[in-house]
Amino acid sequence: MGQYFKAYVENSASKSLGKMMEFGYMHQSYVATICTMIYQNPQIVAFVGDYASGNKAYDVAWNQGNEELDMNINLIEDINKMYLVNHSKKEYVYLKNYYELNNDIKHNRCMHPLALLASIGNDENSGGNYPLWFTSEENSKLVGSWALDHISIEKQKDDFISAKYNELAPRFPLLFDN
């Protein structure tokens, strides 16, 4: 059956959206919508799995009466060439470089770092999760490390680099049989 995730942004939650390996790619409309919602607007963000019931965020995303996220918004062009910024941890990922480093050219697929960095429950060993053995131990520790932090998308580096944010260059490769 596998684990299903909901996106949680501040006081709103999506309907159950699917398995991490179904929705968590760059250039996929669901994650692009979440990125548009947090464009120049830091919000608490998490992708909460339905197997993560032992986590405090589970209740917030799955059981509380949150507003439903508006998934019918105009997407921002070139959002995957901008900066994904964690204001709580003072870290960022330059999405253009991330894509170049992680894209599986043969299959033209790349996991979106927001989906993995802000996930809760990805390690619950169920079908549809991002397999942590795809990446190094160091990078696997990053999965979920941004969950429930204040995260935004920023167009320019200048807005936050002066505040001494550290750049992350995570490796979340995909492995395919053919």
pLDDT tens for 84-141 read 999 999 999 999 999 999 998 887 889 999 999 999 888 766 556 788 878 888 988 9
Residue 24 covered by a domain: yes
pLDDT of residue 178: 41
pLDDT for 2: 76
What does the pLDDT read at residue 16?
58
More confident residue, 57 or 29: 29
Ranges 36-45, 135-144, 159-168: which has the least confidence: 159-168
Q: Residue 129 domain-assigned?
A: yes
* 172 is a domain residue: no
Q: Given this model, what pLDDT does residue 51 score?
A: 78
Q: How many domains are there within the chain?
A: 1
In a domain, 175, yes or no: no
Examine residue 178 and state whether it is found in any structural domain, yes or no.
no
Q: Which residue has the higher pLDDT, 142 or 67?
A: 142
Q: What is the 3-state secondary structure (H, E, C) of the chain?
A: CCCCEEEEECCEECCCCECHHHHCECCCHHHHHHHHHCECCCEEEEEEECCCCCCHHHHHHHHCCCEECCCCCCCCCCHHHCEEEECCCCEEEEHHHHHHHHCECCCCECECHHHHHCEECCCCCCCCCCCHHHCCHHHHCCCCCCCCEEEEEECCCHHHHCCCCEECCCCCCCCCCC
- Evaluate if residue 166 carries a pLDDT over 50: yes
Say if 142 falls within a structural domain: yes
Of the pLDDT bands very low, low, confident and very high (cuts 50, 70, 90), residue 176 is: low
* pTM higher than the cut 0.85: yes
Domain residues for the domain of 64 are: 5-167
User: 1: pLDDT confidence band, cut at 50, 70 and 90?
Assistant: low
In this prediction, residue 123 carries a pLDDT of 72
1 vs 132: which has the higher pLDDT: 132
